Amino acid sequence: MPAKVTLGLSGDQHAHLRNFLFPPDGKEAIAILLCGQRDGDRRYRLSVREIHEIPYEYCTKRTTQMVTWSPDYVDDILERAATEKLSVVKIHSHPNGYAKFSETDDESDDRILPMIRGWVEADLPHGSVVMLPGGQMFGRVLRDGAVEQIECISVAGDELHFWYADAEGYEAPSFVASHAQAFDEGTIERLQRLSIGVVGASGTGSPTIEQLVRLGAGEVVMVDDDTTEDRNINRILNSTIQDAKEGRAKVDVIADSVMRMGLGTKVVSINKNLWDPDVVRAIAQCDVLFGCVDSIDGRYLLNAISTFYNIPYFDLGIRLIADPKGENRGRVREVCGTVNYIRPGRSSLMSRGLFTMQGVAAAGLARNDPTAHQRQVKDGYIKGVQGSRPAVISVNMLGSALAVNEFLARLHPYREDANCTHAAVTFSLASMELISDSEEGICSILSSWVGAGDMKPLLREMGLAERRKA
């Protein structure tokens, strides 16, 4: 059975479309989306890369119930789609709120979608989407000669939106009854349909997975290439000394725990490094990402994947700071952590000052050529190298809970103020503070790659090269 098609937009793309497709005159309007792809085994994800408005005056007819336009206007757009192998999706509005494709839509799609497929001359899905006045969307694609519904259309903005083709007839399982009262059954339904990637299965990753599963997540894709050791038992939930003695993969230990819960969550466990192209391909099919890694280059890559595939990303960082010298040497003077929420197309971990591209390069060198890295550290070319960080399960669980609650606040907005004022949330146990920073600026490094999708080589500008198969 082929993977179901999903479509992902950034929050800014969705807002732009909503503004254009619903002009003051109350008539229908239309635009063309060029989309990157992730042709995966679980999902075929389309990610919006560009929006091309068809000016109102270029439409041959516009009413409150229909819009017609000349395909000649989009010749250059289709040429670009053919050159860059991009999927083409036409999107128009239904100002009257009609939540189905009309007969006029059917006639238009029957004529235009095969024409687009013939023009682009690539084995790609092309589609048609309708936006309703409230911003909701539904759509369909022509793939392999057949028309099928878009399973899910998602928006990664300050709020997270997921609209499904088969939203009717949902019945919440009994184990979610208590938190369904807090977040409503609609939120729980969305959770049970989501594929959530969690990279890092130890300190903050383990409690994050635990919470997501017990909240009713439909699928969790967990990634970690490490095995269980004695020193990990104090922070991997449900792990045992026997697991450490056997050197079991961390993801396998957690996967067994999830299966024992029997709550229906599907688990995809990947015992590989994040920088393996197969891992990138797997998590790029997810709806939401959580980064539970310490490495600079790992966090950078997750930020890039979020951008390329229009996926919301929650980055977790925990810090225990001790006096480095003197009579109080080793005494902890700060216990803190930060959850950064990353919206594709807005600020990044780099533009927020968490690390520099020089730091990313140094981390990459340490991963790929440890000898050369140590030589540059010794020669003074690389500064600020951190050793193994202390880990305390109580602090990790606090940071993890904060991240999951930030996710829920965007899935089911409940705060008194806007979510954009909580782009980064820091807790300090030393000063007993919770500090929020607003979303500001746009990342100059990643902004041009929003919705780019798969490239050859994969994420070609991100330092990730394809590995030859044996």
Per-residue model confidence as pLDDT tens digits over 367-385 = 655 664 355 445 443 344 4
* C-alpha to C-alpha distance for 311 and 285, rounded to whole angstroms: 9
> What topology does CATH give the domain 177-340+357-409+442-462?
Rossmann fold (3.40.50)
Domain 4-164 CATH class label: alpha beta
User: What's the mean pLDDT in 437-451?
Assistant: 93
User: What's the mean pLDDT in 419-425?
Assistant: 95
Per DSSP, helices labelled H in 383-431 are 393-411
Per-residue model confidence as pLDDT tens digits over 229-271 = 998 898 899 999 999 999 999 999 999 999 999 999 999 999 9
Q: Which of 402, 309, 352, 356 is nearest to 38 (CA)?
A: 309
Using only the alpha carbons of the chain, give its radius of gyration.
Answer: 23
Tell me what pLDDT residue 111 has: 93
Q: Which of the two residues, 326 and 71, has the higher pLDDT score?
A: 71
Task: Indicate the DSSP class of residue 348.
Answer: -
Question: Which residues of the chain does CATH 3.40.140.10 include?
Answer: 4-164
Is 311 exposed, middle or buried (CB count within 10 Å of its CB: 0-12, 13-18, 19+)?
A: buried
CA distance readout (Å), 8 to 47, 176, 462: 5, 27, 21
pTM of the prediction? Answer: 0.90
Residue 138 has pLDDT above 60, yes or no: yes
Give the β-pairing of 160-164 and 152-156. antiparallel
Question: 């949902």: which residue's tokens?
Answer: 170
Contacts of 185 (CB under 8 A, 6+ apart): 170, 172
Q: Which of the two residues, 187 and 284, has the higher pLDDT score?
A: 284
Q: 3-class SS at 368?
A: helix
Tell me what pLDDT residue 176 has: 64
Question: Which residues of the chain does CATH 3.40.50.720 include?
Answer: 177-340+357-409+442-462
Residue 462 has pLDDT above 90, yes or no: no
* 8 Å CB contact between 253 and 163: no
* C-alpha to C-alpha distance for 424 and 420, rounded to whole angstroms: 9
Tell me what pLDDT residue 210 has: 96
User: What's the mean pLDDT in 41-48?
Assistant: 96
Residue 171 has pLDDT above 70, yes or no: no
Per-residue model confidence as pLDDT tens digits over 67-123 = 988 877 889 999 999 999 999 999 999 999 999 999 999 999 999 999 999 999 889
Tell me what pLDDT residue 353 has: 92
Phi–psi pair at 236, nearest 5 degrees: -105, 110
Mean pLDDT of the chain: 87
User: What's the mean pLDDT in 185-213?
Assistant: 91
- SS3 string, 233-287, reads CCCCCCCCHHHHHHCCEHHHHHHHHHHHHCCCCEEEEECCCCCCHHHHHHHCCCC
